[in-house]
Amino acid sequence: MNSKKTKKQHVDTGTITSVLKRVIAENGRDHIRGYAFAIFCLVATAMSTAFTAWIMESVVNEAFANKRADMVLMICFAIFAAFTIRGLATYGQAVTLSKIGNNIVSRYQQRVFRHLMTLSVGFFAEARSAHLAAQLGQNIGGVRDVLNLIVTSTARDLLTLISLIAVMVAKDWVLSLIVFAVAPPLIFALRYVSQRVRSVTREAVEVSSKVFGAMQETIQGITVVKAFTMEQQLEDKVRRIIESSERQSNRIARLSERTAPLTETFAGAAIASVIGYAAFRSIYDDVPPGAFFAFITALLMAYDPARRLARMQVQIDRAVVNARMLYDLLDMQPLQREKPNAPDLVVTNATIELKGVVFGYGEGTPILRGIDLVAQGGQTTALVGPSGAGKSTIISLIPRFYDPAEGQILIDGQDIATVTKASLRHALAYVTQQPYLFEGTIRDNIRYGRPEATDAEVEEAARLAHAHDFIMAQPLGYETPVGENGMTLSGGQRQRLSIARALVRNAPILLLDEATSALDNESEAAVQRALDTAMQGRTVVVIAHRLSTVVNADKIIVMHEGRAVEEGTHEELAQRKDGLYARLNNLQSPAS
């Protein structure tokens, strides 16, 4: 049991050391001038503090015992200068370290965002957004705190403590030994507290993120919550999570703050012992009090840096845990990694071909089971079939949101796994079943399809998507803010903006995942006409549940249980009386 505990502590110590080295390596060089100035200020603070304690002997002996008026002015000026220097130095280091800390947070936020953009869609399907945001908020601060703690603890607290101990030893080495006698048990006790705090900090971050996740989930689904009178159920759920977070935070507080009674108790014992010893020497041995006052001043001044250093291990452990969780994310490798020196995709005819593709989410049963199909360049290929047949999965594989377990996906004979993802996705325009709009104006959201698009091109895409009229009816037209995820617009309006965003991209391949599902019959007919125009000259892969929307497709592929079971035009498939397409068509026919 003890060997396991020792091994765990060794691993934790090694991890802390490696994280500290990485934090310093990634940030130290970039801010070396700022840290050098901060350290200079901290050294000035430490020296002025030690000088204040040192001069107390002269204050007591010369000004009060010997009553030398000629020394009073010099002593007062020296004390005034020491405090002024300490004030200016404290201001300088605080502002400098704050600027460096803010820059570190800013850089890591940008770095994390860039890295998140490289991760696969599968990662985001498994990670809850609020959980991720809460973790990042705490973990990025951990990197900043590690560096600030190291600098302030080393340059200010440690140097101040050493300087004051030097003053104490110089004034009375016997009294110094009394103080040092209480240090070992204090260090041992604080080490124990530090190990306990380290073990619960990661749990606290996890629980805290669940609180944000539950609240975000409730807010986003508020209409469902109210429609199904789920308020009490969700209130009970959130209350349990919050209470769990509260208990975890209280546990950390109890552990972290145990340093206070420990340090206060040991400090009280040391100071009481020193005062008793010095008082008896002054009473019975007639020793001048100046050295004692200087010693006791140094001792009292040493208390704050000693207390901060005592807590430093606990604070660094908490910061390192946060930093390590951040690095766990930054070190995560994208699943859809590009090969070194991968070429760009060259699109000529824009023919898409799937050869023996097998794919499943996670460890479950494969969704696609050796599927082969071809979407000819410049033609519209429709995927139809019952839910769960694998239609949306194929749409997700073409932009490499996921990679197949077996088989190949080719565009104009080029395996998409061997070309750059950027060039692949530049050749695609994608309209999802659930339209998503970003914070900003209507114009901004359409222009996301192609940032360099002119205002005229944006408006032309809106006209093709039959969105121009309702846009102009908005208070500010194209400059109207859409709100969070377009909540100020109807579902049909959001979908038409999503279609306009795809059209302005002007890509040779258009992927439509039930793009007209959110529209009423009139809007669907209008947008369908617009899509028919937009489809001309492009390779289109479209998923449809309503077969009436794809009757004019060049090819219809019927999916069932992960396989392509039928293929042909609407007329050909509808005439196969025993075919799956014919049954689906009969079910959706008004005559049925």
CB-count exposure of residue 458 (10 Å: 0-12, 13-18, 19+): buried
Phi, psi (rounded to 5 degrees) for 138? -85, -40
Crossing angle for the helix pair 159-171 and 32-54, to the nearest 10 degrees: 20
* CA 309 from centre of chain: 30
User: For strand 352-359 and strand 428-431, is the pairing parallel, antiparallel, or unpaired?
Assistant: unpaired
Please list the residues that pair with 427 across neighbouring strands: none
Q: Output the pLDDT for position 592.
A: 41
Residue by residue, pLDDT tens for the chain (592 residues) are 444 444 344 335 556 788 888 888 888 888 889 989 998 998 898 898 888 888 887 777 776 666 777 777 888 888 899 889 989 998 999 899 889 988 988 888 888 888 888 887 777 777 666 667 766 777 787 788 888 888 888 778 888 888 888 888 888 777 777 777 766 666 666 666 666 666 666 666 666 667 767 777 776 677 677 776 778 888 888 888 888 878 877 877 776 666 667 666 776 777 677 777 767 776 777 666 777 778 878 877 887 787 777 777 777 777 887 788 888 888 888 777 788 888 999 999 999 999 999 998 877 788 898 899 999 998 999 999 888 888 989 998 999 988 898 999 999 999 999 999 889 999 998 888 778 888 889 999 999 989 999 999 999 999 888 889 999 999 899 999 987 777 778 877 888 888 899 889 889 999 988 776 656 677 677 667 767 767 777 899 999 877 877 888 899 999 988 889 999 998 888 888 788 888 888 877 654 4
Q: Output the pLDDT for position 200.
A: 66
Crossing angle for the helix pair 290-330 and 231-256, to the nearest 10 degrees: 140
Amino acid at 270: A
Crossing angle for the helix pair 173-180 and 290-330, to the nearest 10 degrees: 40
Per residue, what are the HEC states of 382-403? Answer: EEECCCCCCHHHHHHHCCCCCC
Per the CB < 8 A criterion, the answer to whether 556 and 382 are in contact is: yes
Q: Output the pLDDT for position 63.
A: 67
Please list the residues that pair with 568 across neighbouring strands: 556
pTM of the model as a whole: 0.70
Measured distance CA(242)–CA(244) in Å, rounded: 5
**Other beta carbons within 10 Å of 405:** 11
Measured distance CA(219)–CA(214) in Å, rounded: 9
Collapsed DSSP state (helix, strand, coil) of residue 346: coil
**Other beta carbons within 10 Å of 45:** 25
Instruction: Sketch out the chain's domains with CATH numbers.
Output: 18-330 (1.20.1560.10), 352-427+507-588 (3.40.50.300), 438-494 (no CATH)
Q: Output the pLDDT for position 10.
A: 38
**Angle at the Cα of 308 from the Cα atoms of 303 and 309, rounded to 5 degrees:** 100
